[in-house]
Amino acid sequence: MQFSQDARGDGGERDGFPSAAIRLMSASSRYNRAVARRVESPAAAGTWRTLAALDELGATRVSDLAEWQRVSQPTMTTLVRRMERDGLVTRSADPTDGRASLVSITDTGRAQFRSFREEALRLTSPAWDRLDETDRAALARAADLLEALLGEPELR
């Protein structure tokens, strides 16, 4: 799979740092949206992103979830209430601040999130299978590097 420089639309150097960083951010966002659009699910994308955060972070305050998803706290509160009603999350008192609550993923939420990811893998497998072993290894290495970058102070 090769794309011309015009198709990249960045006008920057192919392997140079800001160009590569911008292309990677853009491509990974587009890839996530394309996969999420194809997975049959009654839940909104915000539900899956919130379950992903809770699966990764553990019990989290609503305000932190809102910041993580870049939505307002009232928007996140509404989403958490809906998810709580659907049995995907629970809320409990924050032991460090009695005014706040912590949101946790339930076994049902974890199972539905796992199912969402399995369906995403099933849908994308044919495309991945068309890549050769070297390209699949390069993408696996890129995933490792992105995870490492997320540990850097600028991205925490």
Whether the predicted model's global pTM rises above the 0.85 cut? no
pLDDT in tens, 117-138: 999 999 999 999 999 999 999 9
pLDDT in tens, 67-108: 988 999 999 999 999 999 999 999 999 998 888 889 999 999
pLDDT in tens, 28-82: 999 988 988 888 877 777 898 899 999 989 999 999 999 988 999 999 999 999 9
State the amino acid at position 106 in one-letter form.
Answer: T
